[in-house]
Amino acid sequence: MTVRTDAGVWVVPPMRAVWVAAFVEHSIQMTGSVAMRTLYINPELSLSMQSTCCVIGVSPLLRELIVEMVSIGVLYESDPSHHKRLALLLDMLAILPQRPLALTMPTDPRARVIADRVWRNPKSFSTLTELAQGSGASIRTIERAFLRETGLTIGRWRQHVRLFEALRLLGKDMPVTTVAQEVGYESPSAFVAMFRKAFGTTPSRYFELDLPRNEASSFISTCSNDPC
C-alpha cells in the first residue's frame, strides 16, 4: 500500500502497518493483491502515538491480535476481555519500532510543483532547470525550500522517490532487472546497491517474509466517533 497525505508519502509493504492519526485526510493506493485489515481507535485512547503518520513493524503477536480484534468487530472498555485486548494493543503500538518508509513532501507551492512532477515520473532524467519551468521560483529558491522542508536535497529526494516506486513495482512481482529500468537505473547492480543501502537488504529478499503475499498490509487508524 502507498498512503499519501499533504505532508508526505508512506510505503506499507508486507509485515508493516501504517498509523494514521485522527482527522488526517489521506488516500491509499493498492499495488497487486492486498488484504487490508483496519482498526479504528478512539483518539482519547491513543495519546501516546504520533499525531501524524508513521509506518511500524508488525510482529507475529501484533498480527494475530489485529486479526482477532477485527473478527470481534467493536470492542468496549466495559467488557473486561475487550479491555485487556485493547490495553495490549496500545502497549504494543507504543514500543514497536518505526520503519523509515516515509517521504516528506514540500509545502512550498513552488517546490511542490517540482515534487509532483518527479512523483508522476520517477525515472525521468529531466534536469532541475527543466523541472522548474513554470514553477514561479528560481532554482536556488527551490533547492532551499526542499532542504528546509524535507531535510533532503532535490537529488536525494528524487532518489527516495525512485526507491519508493521500486517497492511498489517489486510488490507486483516485477523482476529486479525490470524494476531497475523502470525507476531509471542504467544497471541492475547500481539499483541493487542503492536499494541495499536504503533498506538493508536486496530487492529479491525484501519481501521474503512470513506473511503470504496476498496478506500484504495492515492499516491502523484513529476515529472520532466509533467505540473501540
Reduce the secondary structure of the chain to three states and give it as a string: CEEECCCEEEECCCCEEEEECCCCCCEEECCCCCCEEEEEECHHHCCCCCCCEEEEECCHHHHHHHHHHHHHCCCCCCCHHHHHHHHHHHHHHHHCCEECCEEECCCCHHHHHHHHHHHHCCCCCCCHHHHCCCCCCCHHHHHHHHHHHHCCCHHHHHHHHHHHHHHHHHCCCCCHHHHHHHCCCCCHHHHHHHHHHHHCCCHHHHCCCCCCHHHCEEEEEECCCCCC
**Tens digit of each residue's pLDDT (9 = 90 or more) over 150-180:** 888 988 899 889 988 898 888 778 899 999 9
The mean pLDDT of 1-9, rounded to a whole number, is 85
Domain locations along the chain = 2-101+212-222, 108-206
Q: Is the pLDDT of residue 226 over 60?
A: no
Residue 222 has a pLDDT of 42
The mean pLDDT of 91-102, rounded to a whole number, is 74
Residue 46 has a pLDDT of 67
Residue 178 has a pLDDT of 93
pTM above 0.85? no
Q: Is the pLDDT of residue 73 over 80?
A: yes
**Tens digit of each residue's pLDDT (9 = 90 or more) over 16-57:** 888 888 888 899 888 777 788 899 888 877 666 667 788 888
User: What percent of the chain shows pLDDT beyond 70?
Assistant: 86
Q: CATH for 108-206?
A: 1.10.10.60
Residue 14 has a pLDDT of 73
Q: Is the pLDDT of residue 90 over 90?
A: no
Residue 192 has a pLDDT of 92
